[in-house]
Amino acid sequence: MGDTVEDNEIDRISELPPFIVHQIMSHLLVKEVAQTSILSKRWQYLQRSFPIFDFDEAYRYFMEISCPIFFRSKRGRLRINIRRFIEYVNASLLRFCELKFSMQKLRILISLLDIKESSCVLDKWIGLATENGVKELDFDVRTLTDSAYTLPGIIFSAKLLTTLKLAGCKLEQPSDTIRFLSLKSLTLNYVCISEVMLQKITSECVLLEELSMSNCWGAKRVHVFEAWMLVEIPHMKLKKM
Contacts of residue 133, defined as CB under 8 A and 6 or more positions apart, other chains included, come to 102, 103, 159, 160
pLDDT for the residue numbered 146: 77
Can you give the CATH number for the domain in which 132 is found? Answer: 3.80.10
pLDDT digits (tens, 9 = 90+) for 174-203: 877 888 999 999 999 999 999 889 888 888
| Residue 40 resides in a domain | no
Q: Is residue 145 part of a domain?
A: yes
pLDDT > 70? residue 22: no
Residue 206 lies in a domain: yes
Task: Specify the higher pLDDT residue, 84 or 43.
Answer: 84
Identify whether 29 is part of a domain.
no
pTM above 0.85, yes or no: no
Domain assignment present for residue 141? The answer is yes
Residue 31 CB contacts under 8 Å (≥ 6 apart), including other chains? none
Q: What is the pLDDT of residue 57?
A: 78
**Residue 34, domain member (yes or no):** no
Give the model confidence (pLDDT) of 59-106 as tens digits. 544 544 445 555 566 677 778 888 999 999 999 999 899 988 899 999
| 180, 205 Cβ separation under 8 angstroms | yes
**Structural domain contains residue 87:** yes
pLDDT per residue as tens digits for the range 145-173: 778 999 999 999 999 999 999 999 999 98
Q: How confident is the model at residue 46 (pLDDT cuts 50, 70, 90)?
A: low
Task: Domain count for the chain, please give it.
Answer: 1
For residue 143, the enclosing domain spans: 51-214
Whether 148 is in a domain gets the answer: yes
